[in-house]
Amino acid sequence: MTPPRRNALVLAVGVGFVAVGVVGYQFGVHQASPSPASSPMASSSPKDKPLYWFDPMQPDQHFAHPGKSPFMDMQLVPKMADDAAQGAGATPGVKVDPASIQSLGIRTAAATRGMLPSAVTATGTVDFNERNVAIVQPRAAGFVQRVYGRAPGDIVRAGAPIADLLVPEWSGAQDEFLAVQKTGDASLIAAARGRLRLLGMSDELIHSVESGHRPRSTITVSTPVGGVIQKLDVRAGMTVSMGQSLAEVNGLASVWVTAAVPEAQAGQVREGQKVSVTLTAYPGQTLSGRIQAVLPQVAGDSRTLQARIELPNPGGRLRPGMFATVGFSGDSRPALLVPSEAIITTGRRTLIMLARANGHYQPAEISVGREAGGQTEVLAGLREGERVVISGQFLLDSEASLSALPVRSLVQAEGAR
């Protein structure tokens, strides 16, 4: 066979193979293409279509199309229409098999009406009783001849000497009094004695001059009360004037306990209210007292109200600066109560898990008031007799969040009354 004829034969065979391939491909495509009647999209019902997509970690956010969550590195989950249809008319919430309730440790309690005691606890500090302060002053001008070694912070008894003063003015007046006394004239003696009192001499000093028949121009200035020397402004050799403050003594027969009550609880504190005081220095001992005064100004830095309690201090055991815990008792009032352990605080709102029929549990928003004795007052969002979960509620709340279950709002709870 000549080369031109052989090349023509090869070309014809190649064209034949190409034609067979094209026909086979077209046939295969025709056989593989589904008819509109057999297409899954065509045969699917509206119930199989997602209503929306959501992130299980942010179930409140809904998306119209599938994809990756903008919050977490995970795919969005579809919310199917048939799920919503099954939920319509059924008991809302998380379904727990009755056999699993005990193994999960789920316990419930009913919301009941009861008396909630008004109990407020605040920290306090022991302070000096500022009403029991004595100022030591001389009754006449003179010179300090002697001091008795006192210093600020010393504890002194009543009548403790502070300083000896020389009063030259008294010497001449006492000499005149002794001269008049020798006359035996009662009216003149009484007038002279009155003059000594006007000069600032005490009856005790006048009696000492009268009985001793000699003048006394040196006197001892002493403290009228016992307590702590807060200030001492006298030194040997100094000159003092009449009425000058030599010392300040704060008594210790009673002390103040100043309690810092949070501003939010200020309405539960009133003057005359009974309180109990415990001190860190004396554990196990409780002192009783009453609120003597509620100061009118709130501390700007701590937003607390100052309540002042006066306590007796026998033996000086209560020392200013000690820390104390003050418990304020008050009148009880009726309220709708749930155990405090049932409360779930998210930061934005307060929730509880309601126990429904047939093992269903639904989250509900509530508004809470005061808490005392392990019970919390519910102001809104709950009805008397409804059961709340007190153990295992956080597990149920997490499941409800992942399932994007709706939370019963305050308005819905009020509308169901």
Residue 90 pLDDT? 53
How many domains does the structure of the chain reveal? 4
Other C-beta atoms within 10 Å of 261: how many?
A: 24
Pair (244, 265) in one structural domain = no
Pair (306, 375) in one structural domain = no
Q: Torsion angle of alpha carbons 138, 144, 146, 148, nearest 10°? A: 50
Pair (342, 394) in one structural domain = yes
The verdict on residue 266 lying in a domain is yes
The single-letter DSSP state of residue 160 is -
Quick check: helix, strand or coil at residue 235? coil
The verdict on residue 64 lying in a domain is yes
Pair (274, 125) in one structural domain = yes
Residue 240 pLDDT? 93
Could you give the angle at the alpha carbon of 51 between the alpha carbons of 410 and 399, nearest 5°?
50
Rounded to 5 degrees, φ, ψ at 30 are: -65, -40
Q: How far apart are CA 371 and CA 378, in angstroms?
A: 10
186-198 helix and 203-212 helix, angle to the nearest 10 degrees: 130
Domain boundary among 212, 230, 251: 251
Can you give the CATH number for the domain in which 221 is found?
2.40.50.100
Helix (H) or strand (E) holding 21: helix 3-32
Helix (H) or strand (E) holding 323: strand 323-328
Pair (317, 338) in one structural domain = no
Residue 408 pLDDT? 86
Residue 324 pLDDT? 94
The verdict on residue 14 lying in a domain is no
The answer to whether the beta carbons of residues 339 and 378 sit under 8 Å apart is: no
The answer to whether the beta carbons of residues 332 and 113 sit under 8 Å apart is: no
The verdict on residue 10 lying in a domain is no
Residue 357 pLDDT? 82
- Give the residue ranges of the chain where pLDDT is below 50: 1-47, 82, 84-89
Residue 62 pLDDT? 80
- What is the domain range of residue 149? 135-251
- For every residue of 294-309, which 3-state class applies, written as one string? EEEEEECCCCEEEEEE
The verdict on residue 39 lying in a domain is no
Distances 132 to 49, 224, 246, 327 between C-alpha atoms, Å: 83, 11, 17, 25
Pair (168, 272) in one structural domain = no
Q: How far apart are CA 293 and CA 269, in angstroms?
A: 10
